[in-house]
Amino acid sequence: MKKIILLISLVYFAVSCADSDDMGQNVNDAPQLDNFDWTIPSGLINGSDNPFPLAKDPKLFKVSEVQFLSDESLAAVAYIEGEIRVYPYLYLNSFESVNDQVNGISYALTYCPQTQSALLINNRFKTDNFVLRASGYLLYDNVILKDESSETYWSQMLGQCIKGRYAGEFSGTFNFVEMTWKTVRTNFPDAKVFTISSISQSSNNTQANKADVKVGDLVYGIIGRTTSQQFASAEAVKNTEVFIYHYDDFGDQTELLTDNIANKQTLIIGNRNDHYITSYINDGTAVFQAVQNKFPIVMKDSEDNYWNVFGVAVEGPRTGQQLASPVGFFALFWAWDEFYDDFNFVD
Identify the pLDDT of residue 38: 85
Q: Is residue 172 part of a domain?
A: yes
Q: Is residue 92 part of a domain?
A: yes
Residue 215 has pLDDT above 50, yes or no: no
Same domain, 106 and 134: yes
**Boundary (domain end) residue, out of 175, 204, 233:** 204
Residue 134 has pLDDT above 60, yes or no: yes
Task: Show the domain range for 290.
Answer: 215-345
Side chain identity, residue 291: V
Average pLDDT score over residue span 66-83: 95
Same domain, 167 and 186: yes
Q: Which residues pair with 180 in a beta bridge?
A: 74
Q: Is residue 11 part of a domain?
A: no
Q: What is the pLDDT of residues 50-72, one digit of tens each?
A: 999 999 999 999 999 998 899 99
Q: How far is Cα 87 from Cα 163, in angstroms, rounded to an integer? A: 28
Average pLDDT score over residue span 302-312: 98
Q: Is residue 12 part of a domain?
A: no
Identify the pLDDT of residue 273: 86
51 contacts: CB under 8 Å, gap ≥ 6: 133, 134, 135, 136, 146, 148
**pLDDT category of residue 225 using cuts at 50, 70 and 90:** confident
Q: What is the pLDDT of residues 88-114, one digit of tens each?
A: 999 999 999 999 999 999 999 999 999
Same domain, 161 and 283: no
Strands 328-332 and 128-129, by their bridges, are unpaired
**Boundary (domain end) residue, out of 171, 204, 237:** 204
Residue 318 has pLDDT above 50, yes or no: yes
Same domain, 52 and 196: yes
Residue 9 has pLDDT above 50, yes or no: no
Same domain, 97 and 185: yes
Same domain, 57 and 188: yes
Strands 74-80 and 177-180, by their bridges, are antiparallel
Q: Is residue 209 part of a domain?
A: no
Same domain, 191 and 272: no
Q: How far is Cα 27 from Cα 21, in angstroms, rounded to an integer? A: 15
Average pLDDT score over residue span 134-145: 97
Q: Is residue 47 part of a domain?
A: yes
127 contacts: CB under 8 Å, gap ≥ 6: none
Identify the pLDDT of residue 2: 38
- Does 113 sit behind a cis peptide bond, omega within 30 degrees of 0 on the bond before it? no
**Boundary (domain end) residue, out of 154, 185, 204:** 204
Strands 297-301 and 105-112, by their bridges, are unpaired
313: left (phi over 0), alpha (psi -120 to 50) or beta: beta
Q: What is the pLDDT of residues 150-182, one digit of tens each?
A: 999 999 999 999 999 999 999 999 999 999 999
Same domain, 188 and 64: yes
Domain count along the chain: 2
Same domain, 222 and 267: yes
Same domain, 237 and 288: yes
Q: Is residue 18 part of a domain?
A: no
Same domain, 197 and 225: no
Instruction: DSSP for 222-270, please give it.
Output: EE---TT---SSTGGGGGSEEEEE-GGGS-SS-EEEEEEETTEEEEEEE
Task: List % helix, strand, coil for the chain (3-state, nearest 5).
Answer: 15, 35, 50
Helix H or strand E encompassing 92: helix 89-92
Q: Is residue 52 part of a domain?
A: yes
Residue 178 in contact with residue 77, Cβ under 8 Å? yes
Same domain, 109 and 250: no
Q: How far is Cα 347 from Cα 39, in angstroms, rounded to an integer? A: 35
Task: Choose among 222, 177, 220: nearest CA to 332.
Answer: 220
